Chain A
Amino acid sequence: MNRDQLIWIVLFAVGAAALLGRAVLTEQGMGREYIRQTVTPAGGTEFLPATYGDYVRAEQAQPGQTEYRFSRARTIGLWLAAFFTLAVFSFLYSDNPFYKVAESVLVGVSAGYWMVVGFWDVLVPNLIGRLWPSMVQAWAMPGLAGAEAQRNLWYIVPLVLGVMLLWRLAPRGTWIARWPLSFIVGTFAGLQLIGFLHGDFLAQIRNTILPLAVFEAGAFDFWASVRNLLIVGGVLCAVTYFFFSFEHKGAVGRVAKVGIWFLMITFGAAFGYTVMGRIALLAIRIEFLLDDWLWLIDPSRRRAVSMLLQGIWG
């Protein structure tokens, strides 16, 4: 049994003991979800998320009330989410069965998720809804009305292309599937040629036309002029770096060298700037573990039953 497995077992034992102790010994316990049952205007019942604090206050006000209730399904879900979070973090130490389970569930659920989204958000409204509006209206989209409800025969084109695409699964004639592919490639090669040329190429040249001598209410503003010179010079040098026809030697080499300096400063700044966002992502996950699951901390006072009990967390 090598060192890794020993560490896993130790971690496991300490973790399990702590969780058990926490759930049983402390009076508030941990990791429980509550719901609030409300009647919707149309008569159906709806379950809104509620906190342990709401539940205890409601119990104090009227013991045995049923509006705020403990929800077993959501509690199981909470513990599942906590397991998945820990399983993914465990990969940082080493690849292990828990991570493989989490990875498999994620691949399966996410593939299924996007296919369901594709069906209900694209196929039903944009294909079936356009070709057989009455059928969709009777089945899943009663609200369909107005221009959307008229049949639009143009949508035969994507249907035909779609069938051609699926012909790949047929034993013979799979070459037909290339037609929809070439249709897609052709359209987006054309669209993006225009889009990038007009949006990026022209716009960036226009934005770089700046005066090298800046006058602020008559007076010559030295620093603003230096700023514009740096921007214009930087763009020209960096564009020179991308030249293909000349080797980076001699005069072109020196200009390209200045250009790569600008690019490196750009990359360094962008790297430093995004660090804060990434750390916020980790902080949110750890707050989920400590607050929602383990009930160790309660920064937003969701489980503070009343100011009286403030003492415990004080």
Chain B
Amino acid sequence: MKRTVPLLITAVVGFTLIGAYFVPYTQSWGETVAIWFDVLAAIAFILGGGNLLRSHLKKISDQQRGWAYSIIVLASFLGTLFVGLGKIGVAPSPQFLEYSWSGPYRQTGSAFWYFYQYAFQPLTSTIFALLAFYIASAAFRAFRAKNLEAILLLATAFIVLLGRTFAGVALTGWIDPANWEGFRHFTGLRLENLTVYIMAVFNTAGNRAIMIGIALGIVATSLKILIGVDRSYLGKD
């Protein structure tokens, strides 16, 4: 009972939606279900939030290593939640002054905006900016000509990188019909044109094959789930 019903639900819902794609009247079922999913994911926040609270409270009560930082996590989590849900500092919208809760929760100047502007935004964009450092260390460590494939990877990256600087353009700027008529056939070898050619031909072909492979992988994976061959996500009997 605990496992057969869920498997039945998955199969029925899955095949219905596949069929719905072919019947003109029911083609919009896909979007409706997507909206339902958003609602379900929003409700599930309670589980996630609950787990966050429980694991950090446990870390504090057990005085595990780094419990002081858990206090900071809980303080900022509950602070943001309180300020956001309570629309603290949000003025009601001009047309509906008498409805105190009508103002947008992200209103500039409100407390929630303050948390976003001076904590959320700087922190996330700075973590994102770490990528520039990691790209440099990855370039030094990973781009070594160990075998033919690594040489192709490194050579292409090298050409594209060079092609995007003025040095690259200057390096092969001499391949110019103005200098010698014969160069007319070789302008394709100029670095920036080479980059264009690599992106337009090799990148297109490579990405197409990967996308075709992914589509086939998804067909097989979805089918295995719908007919119950793969049911690990359902847990124990």
Does a CB–CB distance below 8 Å link A and B in the complex? yes
Complex CA–CA separation, A106 to B123 (angstroms): 7
How would you classify the secondary structure of chain B's contact residues: helix, strand, loop or mixed?
helix
Does A19 sit within 8 A of B, measured CB to CB? no
Does B36 sit within 8 A of A, measured CB to CB? yes
| Residues in B lying within 8 Å of A, measured CB to CB | 2, 5-7, 9-18, 21, 30, 32-50, 52, 66, 69-70, 72-81, 84-85, 91, 93-97, 99, 101-102, 105, 108-109, 112, 114-133, 135, 148-150, 152-161, 163-164, 188, 195, 197-216, 218-219, 221-223, 225-226, 233-235
Does A18 sit within 8 A of B, measured CB to CB? no
> Would you call A263 and B73 a contact (CB within 8 A)?
no
Known: A112-B77, A201-B211. 16 other contacts (CB 8 A): A104-B76, A105-B123, A123-B42, A165-B43, A193-B223, A201-B212, A208-B208, A231-B201, A238-B206, A241-B209, A264-B149, A265-B156, A268-B155, A268-B160, A269-B156, A272-B156
Complex CA–CA separation, A207 to B208 (angstroms): 9
Complex CA–CA separation, A24 to B76 (angstroms): 32
Partner of A162, one of B32, B40, B129: B40
> Would you call A116 and B105 a contact (CB within 8 A)?
yes
Partner of A273, one of B10, B199, B234: B199
> Would you call A262 and B205 a contact (CB within 8 A)?
yes
Complex CA–CA separation, A191 to B10 (angstroms): 12
> Would you call B234 and A182 a contact (CB within 8 A)?
yes
Does A180 sit within 8 A of B, measured CB to CB? yes
List of A residues within 8 angstroms of B198 by Cβ: 265, 269
Known contacts A266-B207, A282-B129; is-contact A118 B14 (Cβ 8 Å): no
Taking the closest CB of chain B, its distance from the CB of A266, in whole angstroms, is 3
> Would you call B42 and A122 a contact (CB within 8 A)?
yes
List of B residues within 8 angstroms of A208 by Cβ: 208
Known contacts A106-B127, A179-B9, A272-B161; is-contact A262 B14 (Cβ 8 Å): no
Does A186 sit within 8 A of B, measured CB to CB? yes
> Would you call A81 and B202 a contact (CB within 8 A)?
no
